[in-house]
Amino acid sequence: MNKLRLFLFPDTGIEEEACIRACVLELQKSFSIEEVRVGRREKGFFKKNKSSELSWIVSKDWQGALDYLAAFSAKSKIFVSVLSNQSRKLSLWETWYQSLHRVIPANIKLLAHSPLSYRFLKELAGMPDLQLEQLPFPVPTPSFGKKQSAFTVGAYGSFVPNNNLHFLLTVGHYLAKKDRTIQLKLWGQGPLSQHLVQLARDLGLEEQVHIIPSSSSSPPEFCDVSLYFPHRNDHFGSLLMAASVGAVPICGKIPGIERYVTDSVNGFVFDSEETRSIAELILSLKNHPYLCQQMGAQFKKDVFKNFSIERVSEQYLSLMNGN
C-alpha cells in the first residue's frame, strides 16, 4: 500500500479540516496515511527528508507552506490545497508578479477548491494545466446532533479578519429586537473569538449570541438555519457542514453557489448582504417549522447526492494515483 503524508498547518479552519478528514476516510482504503500537524520540527522538511512518498499540504497560506517545508527541494509528488488566494506575505498582484519569475516544479500540483481560485491560478498566475486541478470538497460525515428547544441560527467557520463576522452579528442584533428566543451560534476557532464575545456583550446580546470554540474532531452541532456569506473565492466547506446537520442555508451569491443551493427550493440565495430581508426570512422560517424542516432535509439530500465522500474521494484517488 502506497504512503500519503498529510501536512495540516495551524491556519486550517475547522470546516476545511472536517472536509479533508472526510476525504481521508476513503483514501485510507488505498493509502497508508500519516498525518503531520505542522510545527517547528517540520521547518525545511523536504530538505531533510528525501522520501518518495506522496504528500498533501493543507494551508490557507499555500505559498508560505511551500517555503516553510522547503517543498521546492522535494523530488516526490506533492499536492497542495489552495484554501485562499490571500497570503500573509503577498498581495494578489505581488503573487501574480512572483508567479512570472518563480516557476513551481513539475512535481508540485495545486488543488483549487473554488471556481475563483481555479480561475486566478490559471488565468492570472498562469499555472500550467498539468499542475492545476479543480476539485470540490466532500460533505463531512453526517451529524446526528439533537435539535435544540430554541430556534437556532448558526454559522461555521474561522474567527479571522475579513470573514464577514460583523455582518453575522448585525443579523443577530436585528433578530434579537424582533424575537429574543432565537439563538445565534457561531462555531469555529481563531484569534477573533474573544473580540466577538466582547462585541456581543457590548450589543447586549450575550444571551442570544454564542461564540463557541470548536475543533475539527467534534461533529458539527445542529442548527435550524445556517448563514453563509463568505469571501467570493470560498471553497464551500462551511456550507457542506451546514448540509451535514440538515440546516436550511441562507447564502450570499458567490461563484459556484448554484452547484449547491437552488434559491427557494433547498435554500435561499441573496445578491447582497441585506440584513433586514435575511432576518425577516429567518423569522418566517421559525414561524413555519414544517417548511423549514422539509427544506433542510432537501438540502441535505441534494448535497449528499452530489458531494458524497465516496463520489468526491474517487476524484482525489484518481488524481493521486496519476490517472
Q: Write the burial class of residue 289 (CB in 10 Å: 0-12 exposed, 13-18 middle, 19+ buried).
A: exposed
Q: Tell me how far apart the alpha carbons of residues 94 and 147 are, in angstroms, rounded to a whole number.
A: 47
CA 193 vs CA 53, 83, 211: distances in Å = 38, 21, 7
Location of C-alpha cell 485562499 = 84
Which residue ranges make up each domain of the chain? 2-138+309-320, 152-306
Query: Mean pLDDT of residues grouped by 10 in the chain (323 residues)?
Result: 94 89 93 96 93 92 93 95 66 52 85 89 83 94 71 90 86 95 92 92 94 74 93 85 95 93 97 93 97 97 95 94 79
For domain 152-306, give the CATH number: 3.40.50.2000
pTM value is 0.88
**What's the pLDDT score for residue 123?**
84
One fold for both 2-138+309-320 and 152-306?
A: yes
Location of C-alpha cell 471553497 = 235
In what order do the strands lie in the sheet containing 108-112?
31-37, 2-8, 54-59, 78-82, 108-112, 132-134
| CATH class for the region spanning 2-138+309-320 | alpha beta
**What's the pLDDT score for residue 91?**
54
Q: Tell me how far apart the alpha carbons of residues 54 and 104 are, in angstroms, rounded to a whole number.
A: 17
Q: Write the burial class of residue 249 (CB in 10 Å: 0-12 exposed, 13-18 middle, 19+ buried).
A: buried
Which of 265, 183, 171, 277 is closest to 224 using CA atoms?
183
**What's the pLDDT score for residue 78?**
97
Q: Tell me how far apart the alpha carbons of residues 59 and 7 are, in angstroms, rounded to a whole number.
A: 8
Q: Tell me how far apart the alpha carbons of residues 192 and 125 are, in angstroms, rounded to a whole number.
A: 31
Buried b (16+ CB within 10 A) or exposed e, 107-137: ebbbbbbbbbbbbbbbeebebeeebbbbbbb
